[in-house]
Amino acid sequence: MSMTKENAQAYWGENLRIIITYMSIWFVVSFGCGVLFVDALDQIQFFGFPLGFWFAQQGSIFVFVALIWAYVSSMNKLDEKYDVHE
């Protein structure tokens, strides 16, 4: 099962890129839409909700769920690519 040092580093690098991509979305949706820009977004109506309020109380949670599953699928592919899956 031992993999070369270069392979291990490349795997870790791609892993970090995946994490950074998804964590950026996580940050923008929760701290961005739900906290920092919430007042601006509230000017927009979204199915009867002010949009900022919706993100802060519901929308962010839906996105969190989607993010974890997207991450699971990306990592499964990455694990197979580098042959480190179980």
| Residue in the structure block whose two tokens are 């995946």 | 18
Instruction: Classify 4 as helix, strand or coil.
Output: coil
Interface with other proteins (CB under 8 A), residue from 11, 24, 40, 43 = 11
Does 14 participate in binding other proteins (rule CB under 8 A)?
A: no
**Whole-angstrom distance, CA of residue 14 vs CA of residue 27:** 20
Residue 24's Cα: distance from chain center in Å?
7
- Contacts to other proteins by CB under 8 A: 1, 3, 8, 11-12, 15, 19, 22-23, 26, 30-31, 34-36, 38, 42, 46-50, 53-54, 56-58, 60-62, 64-65, 67-69, 71-72, 75-76, 79, 84-86
